[in-house]
Amino acid sequence: MEIGTLRLKVGLAEMLKGGVIMDVTTAEQAKIAEDAGAVAVMALERVPADIRAQGGVARMASVRRIKEIMAAVTIPVMAKCRIGHFAEAQILEALGVDYIDESEVLTPADEQHHVDKFAFKVPFVCGARDLGEALRRIGEGAAMIRTKGEAGSGNIVEAVRHMRKVTGHIKRLTTLGPEELMHEAKELGAPYELVRWAAQHGRVPVPNFAAGGIATPADASLMMQLGAEAVFVGSGIFKSSDPERRAKAIVQATTHYKDPDVLARVSEELGEGEAMRGIDTSKLAEEELLQTRGW
């Protein structure tokens, strides 16, 4: 009998496909998310929009908060640790969290190194802006990749850019000859074996989800149609005017992402409910971006 294998880590991500993972900060929100059909919740101290507004150092959520959320729901509970903060990750593993997000949304703890994710039995998800970053994280043991997007912005443009970059680059890899792949690995700054695998199979070696800026059912459908296999919704739900209804609508939109009639209906059911306000990410200064964190 084996535990903590890559197959088991990737396997849980497979089970989350076609689903919506929702950011929650309290047990009550976790319950609302579960009742709305979330496949998992992400336990946080503050949602990204508040981290952005309030500033300060953003750390792993408090242990008490995470335990309350774990006790409130039967679906998997994820939690974030700071980039490179393997001690936070060790605590999350000890708590029995089901997935760890080594996340740029929190303030990085290490300016060069990410966590050695092979050292853990609990699987990790990491954000990526392009294929090189995705393959570096997988090389370190990540069992799921998500776009970084721009968390807390309510603006889908960054997640779209990141997803298109990854899928576009993979398409290009499949057209290259074997002799071209080493140069490609060098340019990408990614492990050669993983570059070769992606070129042969025409996809990222682990499940590839979307995150960062999803605020509407249409946003979820857009990311799924661009190749995401599931979506994370951070501030988009609990920063909207009617979280429960919006959560349900995004769940339906993620399943029926290819069906415009269903998308129109679930969007209509939102009525006058407003999506989170959102920000124009092109107006953000470089140092205000969360996506540039990670190496």
Partner 1 sequence: MRIGVLALQGDFALHAEALRRVGVEAVEVRKPAELEAVDGLIIPGGESTTLLKLMEAWGFVPALEKFHAQGRPIFGTCAGLIVLAREVLNPPQFSLGLIDVTVERNAYGRQRESFETEGEAALGREPVPIKMVFIRAPRIRRVGPAVTPLAGHRGECVMAREGSVLAAAFHPELTDDPAVHRYFAGMVEAAHPC
Residues marked active site are found at: 80
43 touching partner 1, by CB under 8 A = no
In degrees, rounded to 5, the angle at the alpha carbon of residue 174 between the alpha carbons of residues 171 and 178 is 150
Least spacing, CB of residue 217 vs partner 1, in Å: 14
- In this chain, which of 79, 105, 106, 122 binds partner 1, going by CB under 8 A? 122
Residue 99 contacts partner 1 per CB under 8 A: yes
Cα gap 84→117, rounded to integer Å: 10
Rounded Cα gap, residues 28 and 204, in angstroms: 35
The residue behind tokens 């850019």 is 161
Site string for partner 1, 71-90 (x = CB under 8 A): ---xxx--------------
Give me 223's structure tokens. 């990311």
CB 40 within 8 A of CB 66: no
What is the spatial distance between Cα 142 and Cα 139, in angstroms, rounded to a whole number?
Answer: 7
Asked if 3 interacts with partner 1 (CB under 8 A), we say yes
Q: Which of 108, 123, 127, 154 binds partner 1 (CB under 8 A)?
A: 123
Calculated CA dihedral for residues 295, 140, 151, 213, nearest 10 degrees: 120
Q: Which stretch binds partner 1 (CB under 8 A): 5-13, 111-119, 181-189, 213-221?
A: 5-13
CA distance 281 to 24: 23
Nearer to partner 1, 97 or 151 (CB): 97
Residue 164 contacts partner 1 per CB under 8 A: no
Binding of partner 1 by 124 (CB under 8 A): no
Nearer to partner 1, 120 or 238 (CB): 120
Measure the CA–CA gap between 178 and 160, rounded to whole angstroms.
29
Question: Does residue 1 sit in helix, strand or coil?
Answer: coil
Nearer to partner 1, 36 or 134 (CB): 36
DSSP state of 276: P
- Our finding on whether 101 is near partner 1 (CB under 8 A) is no
227 contacts partner 1 (rule: CB under 8 A): no
Q: What are phi and psi of 33, to 5 degrees?
A: -60, -45
Contact call for residue 2 and partner 1 (CB under 8 A): yes
Stretch that binds partner 1, among 17-25, 49-57, 149-157, 217-225 (CB under 8 A): 17-25
Quote the CA–CA distance of 8 and 30 in Å, as a whole number: 25
Q: What is the binding site for partner 1 (CB under 8 A)?
A: 1-5, 7-8, 11-12, 14-19, 34, 36-40, 74-76, 93, 96-99, 121-123, 251-252, 255-256, 259
